[in-house]
Amino acid sequence: MNHTAATQLSGLKEQIGGIHLLYNATLGPSRGQVDQKNFILKVCGVCTDHAADQKLFVKLLEGWKWEVDREERGRQYLQDLPPETLSVLMCASLQQCLNNVGGADAWNSLPAAKRKLQNEAHLKELYTHFGDQEFAKLSEEEQRAIDEMLWKGCCMHKELNSFKAGYVKMSKYWLDHDLLGPRKLMNRDNSAAFNLGNSAEKERVSEASQAGGVKLTDLAGKLFRDKDDKKGQQDTYLNFFEKHLGFRTKFPDTSNTRFQSHGDAACELIVHLDLYIEFMETIRDNEGTRTFNHMEANVYEGLKDIPTQEELAIMAVVSQSVTRPYMRHVRNADSLGVNGLDLAPLHWNVLDFMHQIAEDPNIILVETATPESATFDKTPWDRPEVFYTVQSACSKYLTYFITGTAVAFERFSAEFEKGGVLDRLTPSMHLQAFLMANNDINEGALGRFRVISRQCPSLTEAHYNALIC
């Protein structure tokens, strides 16, 4: 119904309850029963994206764990009491319950369902009271191990959010220096309004329209590799580039909002810029009218626009020097079973390298740049031809981009800060709360396959791939 944190927690409780109910019903009472409360007591940490609702969800999850722990701790304390002591306590508790509703007569006049609810609420209050007392007897370290719900942000989302922030920062360069900037790539309606409107209307439409590298990579993804294979120039694209490159290649999947796809698309467009311009002209010349449609015209004009090319160049070099090496490390961490809580040094190394670029952009733009000097982990570039193509790019754009990226990356990596919750973990807590580096299990093709497999348990990988290709 909505995506609020409270609704997500309610859905989780319902889902966990259903799983336990099915499990207990399957085994039957003779095989032992499991209590769904044990689930939350075993949860020590969560890996999500960086959205506000997810952070609130973790807080609510922590509150749920606190409630269950105190209730179960108090219940166990009362069960361990001698019978005579427990009897006195329960009689006093029952009397208090009667007094709360106005005495025995008022209690007896209540419907059975309401009496049950009142009794359960009072027992919960009683258990929590003694649970608090028992919890207070534990050491500070033991209390932290029980109560603290660790949170780590998904590394894929750190890269996504930081790259976006860097691009937004770079886009402000043109305004800050009173420059014309990239050509506006207006949609059909805005273009008509701009051409026919008065000066005020032109200004309004221009401000509402997007421009620049990301807008171009977005349009190019829709034209060259739309999520709907019946749209765009997909077959023509494959045949054209196979003829000119000698192999079939697909355009980066910006149409499906894949992680890093805009950086990859910038690399592709900037390396084969002349070939893409030729391809667009081929499309135009093959049309009966010898003209572009509106989207094709936007892509063509964007490819030829110098400020847009400069933005693509900066997106490409940052992708090759920072974000791709970073994602290679965090994906390797997941494949090797590394605890995501151990990745603090990686994040500070990336941040230090970005600060070095901000101070001296020539680190990656100078003609003598090498993978050892122009990547934070000193490993080979994925696409060396990017650097051979853009080494003449203007360093001032890079400074804007990398500064915005660094600020955002530091903000989105705050959970690893010195003296923070993760930094203060004891070795036992550290091992107990193993978290993946990425939220891959719920993202992308892998997450989609996992969900569909629940609905179709006998579905094979080959059948699944055939369905989505």
Q: Which residues pair with 46 in a beta bridge?
A: 151
Own/partner pairs for 364-368, CB < 8 Å, 24+ apart? 364/317, 364/321, 364/398, 365/317, 365/390, 365/391, 365/393, 365/395, 365/398, 366/391, 367/391
Of 54, 37, 10, 42, nearest in space to 151 by CA: 54
Domain locations in the chain as residue ranges? 5-19+35-153, 155-180+316-438, 183-304
Dihedral angle over CA of 287, 288, 291, 292, nearest 10: -40
Q: What is the pLDDT along the chain (469 residues), one digit of tens a residue?
A: 778 999 999 999 999 999 999 999 988 877 778 888 889 999 988 988 898 899 999 999 999 999 999 999 999 998 888 888 888 888 887 787 777 777 887 878 878 888 788 888 888 888 898 999 999 999 888 888 888 888 999 998 999 999 999 999 988 888 888 888 888 887 777 777 666 666 776 667 666 677 888 999 999 999 998 887 788 888 899 999 999 989 888 899 888 777 888 999 999 999 999 999 999 999 999 887 888 888 889 999 999 998 899 899 999 999 999 999 999 999 888 888 888 888 999 999 999 999 998 888 888 888 888 888 888 888 888 888 888 787 655 666 788 888 888 888 888 888 888 888 888 887 877 777 888 888 767 666 777 787 788 788 888 888 888 877 6
Q: In the structure encoding, which two tokens stand for residue 82, read together?
A: 């001698």
Q: Which residues pair with 211 in a beta bridge?
A: 184
- Whole-structure pTM over 0.75, yes or no? yes
| CA–CA gap between residue 363 and residue 370 (Å, rounded) | 9
| CA–CA gap between residue 224 and residue 245 (Å, rounded) | 16
